[in-house]
Every structure is written in C-alpha cells, then in structure tokens.
Amino acid sequence: GEDVEQSLFLSVREGDSSVINCTYTDSSSTYLYWYKQEPGAGLQLLTYIFSNMDMKQDQRLTVLLNKKDKHLSLRIADTQTGDSAIYFCAEGSSSGGSYIPTFGRGTSLIVHP
C-alpha cells in the first residue's frame, strides 16, 4: 500500500532556513500537500503541488518535487519561532473519484533563538 515517510524531528536556529523532507511510494500520486499543526489545533493547509510541477513558491515557503525519486521537500526561509509546529506531508490520487490521502507521521520543527 501507500506509504509516506518523514523524519520525526528537525531543530533549527531562528533566522535560518528549514528543510523538511518527505518520501512517498505511490507512483500514481497526483497531489502532494503540506500541512502544519500547532499544539491543540487542527491541521492547517500550508501549500500543495501537483505532480506535473517541479517547484512551487509561496512567500517564505518553497516546495520541491522530485517525481523520479518520489521525494518532496518543504523549505521555510527565515524560520521564526512561530514556525515551531508539526509539519505533515500527504499524498493522494483521485482513485475512483475519491480522494483518500495518506499522511506521513509528521516532522516536529523546533526553532530556537
């Protein structure tokens, strides 16, 4: 079945760039998403990319997709303490008209001064 893997923790200094990596196995994945979860809150959609794209930039966020290696990354420029959260990568394909996403276990980003 589908599998999405992420490293569990990432620690960065405030002002540096953060890069969160994700690998997936389903070659039919069409949509790849990044979500952010702050303590006590739900998952907030950050950005998403379609599989026919290599890169997407949205302010401080840059998503890179290497479809050949099934590797997705999220780069956060000028990381701030408010970026501390759990970041989830998710992949999905519209199979039979239904979207059943597979989520990674999340990467805890810790930003220290």
Partner 1 sequence: DSGVTQTPKHLITATGQRVTLRCSPRSGDLSVYWYQQSLDQGLQFLIQYYNGEERAKGNILERFSAQQFPDLHSELNLSSLELGDSALYFCASSGGTAGDQPQHFGDGTRLSIL
Judged by the rule CB under 8 A, the positions of this chain that interact with partner 1 are 30-31, 33, 35, 40-45, 48, 88, 92-94, 97-106
In the complex, minimum distance from the CB of residue 58 to partner 1, in angstroms, rounded to a whole number? 13
Phi, psi for residue 39 in degrees, rounded to 5: -55, 130
Phi, psi for residue 81 in degrees, rounded to 5: -60, -30
Give 14 or 101: the residue with its C-beta nearer to partner 1.
Answer: 101
Give 3 or 54: the residue with its C-beta nearer to partner 1.
Answer: 3
Contact 90, 43 (CB under 8 A): no
In the complex, minimum distance from the CB of residue 54 to partner 1, in angstroms, rounded to a whole number? 19
In the complex, minimum distance from the CB of residue 94 to partner 1, in angstroms, rounded to a whole number? 4
Sheet strands side by side (includes 4-6): 4-6, 18-24, 71-76, 61-66, 55-58
